[in-house]
């Protein structure tokens, strides 16, 4: 099979979908891999490394698309990239279609693209093997992000996460005890902050206690508790997700305005539309904005600035699925593997993901 690996076109997106080692594994299975020139530069991989692994270097994103039966990338394609997709092509990426513009979904349907969302692939037990590494990495990065934007020189309130003798540490409220939330809780606790974690599922709260060895405060995530936690927090991490659906709004504008001035919101769910009513996407080049005196960090691709680590993590996670599709063909792979099949958004000109069809059906006139 012909496999394309384009360079990511979005601003400040340094990741690439596969490492040279993963390319070598695909080539050893008899497949042709076309990697765009400098696609791995942001992650520290050179064209010569890809060539030694057996890849063929192409010199435009368009060529990477046009040569590929299976195209694999990281971020949701740009409008230009949608125009380069071939009919009946299979594209794997973090699509996040529940929060995408409707014209992008329509383009996938018109071109009869098999769009596989890496964020949507789920095992029977609910585990997300291709999303989990990014969630773990993003959660672990949050204390360093919070520490930076709590500084006075960044417009923050001048608080050190861990406190010092006689001065209490920062108060951190995390909404959502999934992978991001639990990893963030553990990282903030290690940084010395006082951590409160909220979730509507008591089982997830018990799991969070076990993962952080009990050194956190848990609260059930109903509106009164969320309002209370937000009001005293120096940092609010919004990380509530519903697989395959737009992220729910759990922090209202009223709650934001109840926060102490120059506090910080990190809306990790912004790639799925966001958990905070006042949020809108930002970029690493200009990552924060202020609304109602509260700083908002709403970068969808948080892990792109640790691209070397992120690329290794993504590559390791997607390799089994890449080989499955390439070795057996997309039809056989989807029929055989329910885990992979759950990741399909569109196929043969139809939306096959029920949640997306229900959520966006009216806009698409389905």
Sorted by where each starts, the structural domains of the chain and their CATH numbers stand as 2-118+306-364 (3.40.50.720), 136-300 (3.40.50.720)
CB 67 within 8 A of CB 36: no
pLDDT at 243: 83
Mean pLDDT in residue range 175-199: 97
CB 151 within 8 A of CB 246: no
First to last CA, the chain: 33
Whether 196 is catalytic is no
Contacts of 326-335 with C-beta under 8 Å, sequence gap 24+, read 326/1, 326/3, 326/26, 326/29, 326/31, 326/70, 327/29, 329/1, 330/70, 330/90, 330/114
Reply yes or no on whether the pLDDT at 319 is more than 80: yes
Reply yes or no on whether the pLDDT at 366 is more than 80: no
pLDDT at 278: 98
pLDDT at 364: 74
- Prediction pTM value: 0.95
Mean pLDDT in residue range 155-163: 96
pLDDT at 120: 96
Return d(Cα 162, Cα 294) in angstroms, integer: 21
Which member of 31, 47, 96, 296 is catalytic?
A: 96
Return d(Cα 103, Cα 287) in angstroms, integer: 26
Return d(Cα 288, Cα 309) in angstroms, integer: 24
Compute the Cα dihedral for 301, 307, 309, 310 and give only its sign.
Answer: positive
pLDDT at 314: 97
Q: Mean pLDDT score of the chain, rounded to an integer?
A: 96
pLDDT at 215: 86
pLDDT confidence bin for 284, thresholds 50/70/90:
very high
Reply yes or no on whether the pLDDT at 362 is more than 90: no
pLDDT at 259: 97
pLDDT confidence bin for 288, thresholds 50/70/90:
very high
Which member of 47, 234, 267, 271 is catalytic?
A: 271
Whether 257 is catalytic is no
Half-sphere exposure of 89 (CA within 13 A, CB side): 26
Mean pLDDT in residue range 328-352: 96
CB 235 within 8 A of CB 150: yes
pLDDT at 332: 98
pLDDT at 68: 97
Return d(Cα 289, Cα 293) in angstroms, integer: 10
How far are the Cα atoms of 30, 151, 170, 229, 307 from residue 259, in angstroms, in the given order? 57, 17, 14, 9, 33
CB 353 within 8 A of CB 120: yes
Return d(Cα 152, Cα 146) in angstroms, integer: 12
Mean pLDDT in residue range 249-264: 97
pLDDT confidence bin for 187, thresholds 50/70/90:
very high
How many beta carbons lie within 10 A of that of residue 100, not counting itself?
17
pLDDT at 207: 95
């Amino acid at each position: 099979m012909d496999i394309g690996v384009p360079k990511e076109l979005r601003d400040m997106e340094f990741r690439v979908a596969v490492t040279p080692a993963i390319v070598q594994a695909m080539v050893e299975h008899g497949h042709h891999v076309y990697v765009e020139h400098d696609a791995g530069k942001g992650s520290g991989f050179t064209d010569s490394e890809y060539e030694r692994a057996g890849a063929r270097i192409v010199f435009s994103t368009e060529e990477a698309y046009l040569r590929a039966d299976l195209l694999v990338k990281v971020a949701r394609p740009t409008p230009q990239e949608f125009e380069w997709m071939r009919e009946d092509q299979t594209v794997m990426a973090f699509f996040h279609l529940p929060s995408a513009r409707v014209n992008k979904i329509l383009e996938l349907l018109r071109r009869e693209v098999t769009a596989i969302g890496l964020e949507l692939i789920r095992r029977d037990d609910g585990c997300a093997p291709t999303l989990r590494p990014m969630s773990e990495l993003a959660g672990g990065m949050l204390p360093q992000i919070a520490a930076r934007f709590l500084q006075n020189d960044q417009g923050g309130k001048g608080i050190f996460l861990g406190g010092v003798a006689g001065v209490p540490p920062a108060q951190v409220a995390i909404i959502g005890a999934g992978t991001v939330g639990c990893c963030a809780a553990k990282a903030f606790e290690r940084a010395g902050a006082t951590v409160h974690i909220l979730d509507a599922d008591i089982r997830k709260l018990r799991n969070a206690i076990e993962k952080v060895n009990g050194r956190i405060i848990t609260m059930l995530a109903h509106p009164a508790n969320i309002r209370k936690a937000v009001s005293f927090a120096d940092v609010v991490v919004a990380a509530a997700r519903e697989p395959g659906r737009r992220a729910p709004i759990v922090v209202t504008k009223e709650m934001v305005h109840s926060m102490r001035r120059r506090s910080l919101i990190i809306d990790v769910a912004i790639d799925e539309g966001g958990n905070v009513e006042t949020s809108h996407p930002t970029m690493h080049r200009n990552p924060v904005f202020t609304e109602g005196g509260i700083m908002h960090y709403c970068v969808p691709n948080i892990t792109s600035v640790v691209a070397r680590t992120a690329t290794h993590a993504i590559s390791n996670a997607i390799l089994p699925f890449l080989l499955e599709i390439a070795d057996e063909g997309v039809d056989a792979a989807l029929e055989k593997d329910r885990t992979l099949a759950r990741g399909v958004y569109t196929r043969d000109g139809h939306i096959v993901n029920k949640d997306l069809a229900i959520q966006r059906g009216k806009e698409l006139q389905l």
